[in-house]
A and B are shown apart, each in its own frame.
Chain A
Amino acid sequence: DQQVKQNSPSLSVQEGRISILNCDYTNSMFDYFLWYKKYPAEGPTFLISISSIKDKNEDGRFTVFLNKSAKHLSLHIVPSQPGDSAVYFCAARKGAQKLVFGQGTRLTINP
């Protein structure tokens, strides 16, 4: 039962353009949604999160949008930089329960 899904295994974007990573979920009880970034041989690094009571959260170049009616969230990175090339994981939790992760999307920023 995959409660959090990232349907795009990979995404390629030109440097300076916008990167949009998508995530869908099935459990309407989730109250926190997070994005993590992961480089090979390293642990995931927290990027940004959003509470279910909000529809947008922004932190520098990173913005997360939440559409509860569609059970969909997205991460926008503007402008994209070469150092943004990594695997991005979407995750969600309900209260103090476990954090549930998607399968990840490999983002490649091309010069």
Chain B
Amino acid sequence: KAGVTQTPRYLIKTRGQQVTLSCSPISGHRSVSWYQQTPGQGLQFLFEYFSETQRNKGNFPGRFSGRQFSNSRSEMNVSTLELGDSALYLCASSWDRNTGELFFGEGSRLTVL
């Protein structure tokens, strides 16, 4: 079955602009989590959605927002982009109760100039 799909894979924006990233989870999965990866910082948790409701939220400013649709697809938005927002944004689909595993997509690489 298809894995987690993220679009776009790569994008370049300038400071002050806004960006929207999309994630389609594995079919049947109802939970979507978003992470930001920057060099030396590992994966930082942004937020998690379950059945269109935000269930958990990380320590990011309000410029970072997200939502989930009835078909479980999720979007995250970053407004007023800053240079420090350049990162790989990863989406993950549900988790396996036997292993604790989250299923990750390949990520969207955002570069802010």
B41 touches A103 (CB 8 A): yes
> Given A99-B95, A100-B45, A101-B42, are A46 and B101 neighbors across the interface (CB < 8 Å)?
yes
Neighbour of A34 across the interface among B33, B40, B42, B100, CB < 8 A:
B100
Chain B 1-23, CB-CB to A under 8 Å as 1, else 0, gives: 00010000000000000000000
Size of the chain B interface, CB-CB below 8 angstroms? 25
B30 to chain A, nearest CB (A): 12
Size of the chain A interface, CB-CB below 8 angstroms? 26
By a CB distance below 8 angstroms, the chain B residues around A44 are 43, 90, 104
> Given A41-B106, A43-B104, A43-B106, are A101 and B99 neighbors across the interface (CB < 8 Å)?
no
By a CB distance below 8 angstroms, the chain B residues around A16 are none
Check if B102 is an interface residue, CB within 8 A of chain A: yes
Q: Which residues of B contact A (CB under 8 A)?
A: 4, 33, 35, 40-45, 48, 56, 58, 90, 92, 95, 99-107, 109
Closest 10 pairs (CB-CB, A-B):
A32-B100, A43-B104, A101-B43, A103-B42, A46-B101, A49-B99, A43-B106, A101-B42, A98-B45, A44-B104
